[in-house]
Homo-oligomer: A and B are copies of this chain.
Amino acid sequence: MNEELLLKELQNAIQAAEEAKFLVNNIWLLVATVLVFIMHLGFATLEAGFVQRKNVVNILFKNVMIISIGLLTYYFVGFNLMYPNPEIYEGGFFGFGGFFLNPPDNGMTAAYKSGHFTYWTEFIFQGMFAATCCTIVSGAVAERIKLIPFLIFCTLFVTISYPITGMWAWGKGWLDTSGFHDFAGSTLVHSVGGWGALAGVILLGARNGKYTERGIRAIPAHSLPLTCIGVFMLWFGWFGFNGGSVLSADPGLVSLVFVNTSLSAAAGAMGACLSSFVKYRSFDLSMVLNGILGGLVGITASADGVEPLSAVAIGLIAGIIIPISITTFDRLKIDDPVGALSVHLVCGIWGTLAVAIFGNYNNGIGSFTAQITGIAAIGTFTFIFCFLVFFILRSTIGIRVSEREEAIGLDIGEHQLIAYSQGHQ
């Protein structure tokens, strides 16, 4: 047999194996994309369950629009703001790769991207993340924000603010090169959403009747089954959120991420259960559900680089924090109907710091200095951006519905609909 022929065959064999790996990596990212997508149903039902019956249509409408606006703007602008050409913008604060998508020459059957997945895959996976930051705000400002200014805020937040800070850490920007480690977005997604929520809540004020002279009035969730569906859907989707953030189907890493994510969520439930029992002598389902979310947010920064026992510790502490944080915000008269600030902002910060405590990273990656720098820089930028946007909106078209509309509910006020009609019985 001819040696040249043999060599060519050999190269074919190696290439075929590489192609097979490419197929797996790409399909895993796409499956992860589907999982992250369904988190939007998770947020929609979580928030819809927590609000009052008269504001359910409004919260669902917002969540449906958020994912739609998020995907479209990320396609038009966001993706190229977050992942501009690293050859030009590496280490920078801002970059832009042009409008729309610019797939490599071979078009649809796009070339390998770091040998792992196609350009389209990268876009759609990251696109599903983008809208998440707005969804977090949605819950915190629920039951009193006007629809149009909220949608304007969302559009600006997801089009400009999220991709810029995202580029700092994930798009080869200055934080990425500084040692800051945020695996799947405890800071870049969750606390970013949390800061936006905080800005909104401060400028909007509390719901009428929440903080009275006679104390804080509990406004109960209108449907805990809906909320519970939401939390399970979020946990479900988080396997894609964290597992997909490995950006390949690396067996050891993806499976470790699954283990850490699950154990932290489970420990979050236990932590919140214990903490709320100690505090209120009651088994509070809402707290336990938020404890799971706290555990999930907490592990998101470090799921790729901690031992499972550390994941348990991270989740347990996140869960313990939740009831304390929720009570504290209430004492400060910062009214957050769904606990989004405690889950996403507080546990997002906790998770980012946990990288420095529990992380097994080398070369100074994830040091306390790096983590605090990242939290502070991203937090400052995001909070100022969101505060300004909400402030301008408040000074112009207004951001709060009328007292009457708040009383009758936003479903009638903004949508002329009710969530649960009795029909014609």
Contact = CB atoms under 8 A, between A and B. Distances in A.
Contacts of A118: 251-252, 255-256
A109 B251 contact: yes
Contact of A75 (B21, B38, B263, B284): B263
Contact of A423 (B16, B222, B255, B308): B222
B282 A416 contact: yes
A259 to B, nearest CB: 5
A206 interface: no
Copies in the complex: 3
B252 A110 contact: yes
B292 A64 contact: yes
A355 B228 CA distance: 37
A154 to B, nearest CB: 13
A50 to B, nearest CB: 10
A422 B254 CA distance: 43
Nearest to A273: B65
Interface residues of A, number: 128
A415 B27 CA distance: 44
Nearest to A304: B108
Interface stretch (A41-49, A181-189, A386-394): A41-49
A45 B22 CA distance: 37
Interface string A62-74: 0011011111100
Main secondary structure of the interface of A (DSSP, over half): helix
A372 interface: no
Interface stretch (A28-36, A82-90, A342-350): A28-36
Given A16-B14, A71-B263, A270-B68, A53 B423 contact: yes
Contacts of A252: 106-110, 118, 120
A231 B60 CA distance: 11
A40 interface: yes
Contact of A34 (B1, B35, B409): B35
A156 interface: no
Interface stretch (A3-11, A164-172, A322-330, A363-371): A3-11
Interface stretch (A197-205, A233-241, A396-404): A233-241
Contact of A419 (B70, B224, B269): B224
Select the residue from A21, A35, A266 with max chain B CB neighbours within 10 A: A266
A288 interface: yes
A263 to B, nearest CB: 6
B254 A30 contact: yes
